[in-house]
Amino acid sequence: MMMEEMAMPFEKYWNEMSFQLPTPIQENVFKPLMEGKDVVGLSPTGTGKTLAYAIPLLQKTDANKELQLLVLVPSQELAHQVGHVLAEWGSLKDLTAQVIIGGANVGRQIDKLKEKPEIVVGTPGRLLELANQKKLRLHNIKTVILDEADYLMQEEHLSALRELIKKMPGARQMGFFSATNSENLKDIQKWFNTEPLWFDTTKEGQFMDQTVHGFIEAPTRKRAEMLRRLGNLEGMQALVFVNSTQELDYLAGKLQFEGINVRMLHSDYGKAQRKSAMEEFRKGNATFLLTTDVSARGIDIQDLPYVIHYDLPLSKETYLHRSGRTGRMGKKGVVLSLVNDRNSRDIKRFAPHPDEVKEFFIYGGELVNELPSRESRDAIRDAQKPAAAKAAKIQKKAALKEEEASPQAPAKKIKKKKVRTKTLKNKGARRKPTEQKPTE
C-alpha cells in the first residue's frame, strides 16, 4: 500500500537508499496521515518512525515559503536527527527545514526564520519563546507531530506544550509517535480534544529484533571497575546510561584516569560541546558515550554494538527506550546491565523477553555468556603461558632433583637444640642471685 501510493521522487530515493519493504509502522500510518487524520503510532525504537510520518506529510506539503509542518521533540540531539531527515527528503520537493532548539543562538534562529522554511523541528520551550515574541508564526500550520510523545506529555512539559499548540489553527492535524505505550498517551483526548486512530505495532516489530539482553553481576562499589574492564575488550563501543549528572562526572573522571577514552552528553554542555561529543563517538574516537536519559532521548547511532545500563532505570518504558539505541532496523546488538544481588531480578521485569535474558562474564579478554569447566580453564591457562617460562620451570625442577641425588651434595647442617633446665629458662625479668651470708 505505501509503496503504491508513494510519490515518484520519494519512491526513487527510497530505492536509491536500498531500503527494503516498509516496516509495520510505516505501512500502517501512511494512508491515514495522507488523508489528514490524527494518529497515534507506537513502534519499537529503530523501526523507522521518523520516515513513517515524514514521507506522507512531506508529500502533501507545498513549497510556498509558509510554515506548514511542525515537529516537536524533547532533546537537542533528536531535533538535529529529525531535522536532517526532513531536510534530506524534503529537498526532493524543494522544501526547506529549520531546527530550533534551546541553548542555541536565538538571534541566528530568528534570522534563519526570515528565509521562511516550510518545516520546523524543535524543542517546545524555545519554540514557545519565539512564538510569544511573534517571531515564529504558526497560523498556517497544517500538521503538528509529537515525536517521543510519551515524554513530551509528562506533567512538567505539558503546560508549555499545550500553550504552544493553542497558537495553531484548531483544525490542524496531529500525530503522536512513541516507542512505548504509557499512561500519558491515554489522556490525549482530554488535553488535545481529539480521538486519534491508534496503531500499535510494538509486537509486529519484534520479528526484526535481534538484540540480546543480559547482565553482569558487580557489587555497587565495583561497577566502575567492571566498566573499565568492559572498555578494554576488543570491539567495545557503548552508550552508557547513568541516572545522575553527579555520577556521570565521577565516572567519566575515573575512566579517563584509567586510560579509557570517553565522551559525555551532559545537561550543562552547550550545543557545540554536545555536537562534538556525538561526532567523536560516531567516528569511533571514544569507547564510551556517557549520558543520562534526557540527553539521549531519540539519538540514533548507526550500528552501535552495545548499550550498557550502569544504573538501572526506574521503569520498563525507560529501559526499552535506552535499549533501543542498539539493534536498530533489525541489526544485532547487545544490552548489558550492571547489577547486584538486590536488583538482578529487575532485568527480567524490564526486558522484552524475560526468559531469554543471559548472564555474561569477562573471561580470557572476551565477553562470554558461559564459563568453561575448571579443567578447561586450567588447560586454557596453561596454553597461554609463555613456552620459555614453562621450559625454565621444568629445567629448574630437574636441577633440584639432580642435586639432591648427588653423593657429593653438601650435607645439610643440623641445628642443635639448646637444652636449658627449668631454672635457666627465661620466665621474665632476671633476678640477681642472692648473696650468701658468711658462716660464723
**435: phi then psi, degrees, rounded to nearest 5:** -80, 135
Residue 301 reports pLDDT greater than 70: yes
Q: pLDDT tier at 10 (50, 70, 90 boundaries)?
A: very high
Q: Is the dihedral of CA 132, 274, 46, 183 positive or negative?
A: negative
Residue 420 reports pLDDT greater than 90: no
> Which of 116-120, 218-222, 296-300 has the highest average model confidence (pLDDT)?
116-120
* CATH entry, 210-378, from 2.60.40.10, 3.30.420.40, 3.30.1310.10, 3.40.50.300: 3.40.50.300
Q: How would DSSP label each residue in 296-316? A: TTT---TT--EEEESS--SSH
How far apart (Å, rounded) are the C-alpha atoms in residues 180 and 321? Answer: 8
Confidence at residue 351, expressed as pLDDT on a 0 to 100 scale: 87
Q: How many CB atoms lie within 10 A of CB 108?
A: 9
**What value does the mean pLDDT take over residues 416-433?**
55
Enter the C-alpha cell of residue 10.
520519494
Residue 411 reports pLDDT greater than 70: no
Q: pLDDT tier at 64 (50, 70, 90 boundaries)?
A: very high
Confidence at residue 440, expressed as pLDDT on a 0 to 100 scale: 46
Strands (E), 86-170: 97-100, 119-122, 143-147
Count Cβ neighbours within 10 Å for each residue of 427-437 and write b for 16 or more, e otherwise.
eeeeeeeeeee
Q: Find all residues with CB under 8 Å of 198, minimum gap 6, and list them.
A: 39, 40, 42
Taking only the tens place, the pLDDT of each residue in 30-41 is 999 999 999 999
Higher per-residue confidence, 209 vs 322: 322
Q: pLDDT tier at 181 (50, 70, 90 boundaries)?
A: confident
Beta bridge partners of 262: 288
**What value does the mean pLDDT take over residues 119-132?**
96
Q: What is the pTM of this model?
A: 0.68
**What value does the mean pLDDT take over residues 133-159?**
93
**What value does the mean pLDDT take over residues 3-25?**
89
Check if the beta carbon of residue 65 is closer than 8 Å to that of residue 97: no
Q: How would DSSP label each residue in 78-109? A: HHHHHHHHHHHHHGGGT--EEEE-TTS-HHHH
How far apart (Å, rounded) are the C-alpha atoms in residues 225 and 246? Answer: 18
> CATH class for domain 2-205?
alpha beta
Tell me the CA distances in angstroms from 8 to 4, 13, 29, 59, one per residue in order: 10, 9, 19, 10
**270: phi then psi, degrees, rounded to nearest 5:** -80, 175
Q: pLDDT tier at 330 (50, 70, 90 boundaries)?
A: low
**What value does the mean pLDDT take over residues 197-209?**
73
Q: How many CB atoms lie within 10 A of CB 352?
A: 18
Listed in order, the ranges of the chain carrying CATH 3.40.50.300 are: 2-205, 210-378
Count Cβ neighbours within 10 Å for each residue of 68-107 and write b for 16 or more, e otherwise.
bbbbbbbbbbbbbbbbebbbebbebeebbbbbbbbbbeee
> Which of 28-37, 277-286, 361-370 has the highest average model confidence (pLDDT)?
28-37
- The chain-wide mean pLDDT, for the chain, equals 85
Residue 310 reports pLDDT greater than 90: yes
